[in-house]
Amino acid sequence: MKSGKAVGPDDIPVEVWKCLGEAAVEFLASLFNRVLESERMPEEWRRSVLVPITMKLWERVVEARLRKVVEICEQQYGFMPRKSTTDAISALRILMEKYRDGQRELHCVFVDLEKAYDRVPREELWYCMRKSGVAEKYVRVVQDMYERSRTVVRCAVGQTEEFKVEVGLHQGSALSPFLFAMVMDQLSEEVRQESLWTMMFADDIVICSESREQVEENLERWRFALERRGMKVSGSKTEYMCVNEREGSGTVRLQGEEVKKVQEFKYLGSTVQSNGECGKEVKKRVQAGWNGWRKVWGVLCERKISARIKGKVYRTVVRPAMLYGLETVSLRKRQESELEVAELKMLRFSLGVTRLDRIRNEYIRGTAHVGCLGDKVRETRLRWFGHVQRREKLVSRVRTSD
């Protein structure tokens, strides 16, 4: 666990356990063994404004045990080891590209769930754990975490009185993301097999089919499967997009109402367009870069700070925002140039240099120790290619499918 985490009601920071070394390991092992044997956690952990650090460590121990016995489907990218948003974005982009190249229609529905974390019924959680093969002892351990749990709401004028939390997963819990992935895996076990391609990142679901009727039917299956278990699909936020659309293909309906039809969609922070272009995504990356630059402009424009430090801050804060998801995008020279122009403008502002000073771009980059952005994009793309080559799961299968 990283240092600097906010402490819970027990006021024990994570740095205490790190400083104690082996003594902390022995004490925590003894404490966690007693909790596991008794299936009862300390009462102090049940009240949460912030989750106590020691409880977070206990949750991570339980999560590690559950991951050993629970197998989550390959379509789930959220909270899974060696998977990220880039995997899901890449799989979707490659799939859309293959259908465009083959001049075939691909119908995609981006499903949004209403308050997904807060709506998970506790009984469904226990059912899904048992169905996933979790030992009864660990089911009872997790049940104890949720038993008599209380919380408060903190605001500017103080905090409310305690109240019970009787539905949904715990917010801020280290265990909740995996429990949610397990619930989604069990609830979607039957319906995802009916879809041609289904991708999930936690509660962000993409359903893809070759015909509008088929994707509409699959959407209805998903709605029924989720709502009968206490989850709810948001009709107003669910959107539909068609690749290689023919005239008169219509739109998708959900419970008799038309789903909003779009030509572009922001999927996991990356804009995908039905026509395969990436111009809007490049503009979004430039905008994200400027947003990051403005957050740290006080440091970047401070004359007393060296150019090397400014370059390091830039590479840490601004450049990742500009590069996000670009390893999955085929950039043209013009679009790559657009990114580089924006980057050089930020660097010139940071170093207090204008174009009237007639200083070459190479000197600007050398002074700030910031390499060419185009080279960095190609580097991340090659790294991503190696990652996909080593994978035998869904991303690789999409890339090699016809």
- ∠ CA(370), CA(371), CA(373), 5° rounding? 110
Kindly state the average pLDDT of the residues 238-250.
Answer: 84
Residue 185 identity (one-letter amino acid): D
What distance in Å separates the CA atoms of residue 61 and residue 39, rounded to the nearest whole number?
14
Residues 92, 93, 96, 101, Cα dihedral to 10° = -150
Total-model pTM: 0.86
What is the structure's pLDDT at 196? 64
Rounded to an integer, what distance in angstroms lies between the CA atom of residue 140 and that of residue 158? 35
- Higher-confidence residue of 71 and 355: namely 71
- 165 torsion bin: left (phi>0), alpha (psi -120 to 50), beta (else): beta
The closest of 178, 183, 201, 177 to 120, measured between CA atoms, is 183
- Is the domain spanning 85-116+182-276 CATH 3.30.70.270? The answer is yes
Contact 223, 256 (CB under 8 A): no
Q: What is the pLDDT of residue 401?
A: 62
CB 239 within 8 Å of CB 265: yes
Structure confidence at residue 83 (pLDDT): 87
Condensed to tens digits (0 to 9), the pLDDT of residues 324-335 reads 999 999 899 999
User: What is the domain partition of the chain in residue ranges?
Assistant: 14-69+122-166, 85-116+182-276, 279-390
Q: What is the pLDDT of residues 342-367, one digit of tens each?
A: 999 999 999 998 888 889 999 999 99
pLDDT band of residue 48 (cuts 50, 70, 90) is low
Question: How do residues 84-112 score in pLDDT, each as one tens digit?
Answer: 899 899 989 989 999 998 889 999 999 98
pLDDT attached to residue 398: 61
Give the max Cα distance, the chain: 74
Please state, in angstroms and rounded to a whole number, the distance separating the CA atoms of residues 346 and 148: 52
Interval 303-320: pLDDT, tens = 999 999 999 999 999 999
* 148 Ramachandran zone, left/alpha/beta (phi>0; psi -120 to 50): left
Q: Which two tokens stand for residue 276?
A: 């395969």
Q: Are strands 106-111 and 239-243 parallel, antiparallel or unpaired?
A: antiparallel
The encoded tokens of residue 233 equal 């699909």
Task: Indicate the angle between helix axes 361-368 and 333-351, nearest 10 degrees.
Answer: 60
pLDDT mean over 376-398: 77
**Per-residue b/e over 191-218, b at no fewer than 16 CB within 10 Å?**
bbeebebbbbbbbbbbbbbeebebbbeb
Are 55 and 41 in contact by the 8 Å Cβ rule? The answer is yes
pLDDT for residue 8 is more than 90: no
**Mean pLDDT, range 281-302, rounded to an integer:** 95
Instruction: Give per-residue pLDDT as tens, 127-159.
Output: 999 999 999 999 999 999 888 777 777 777 777
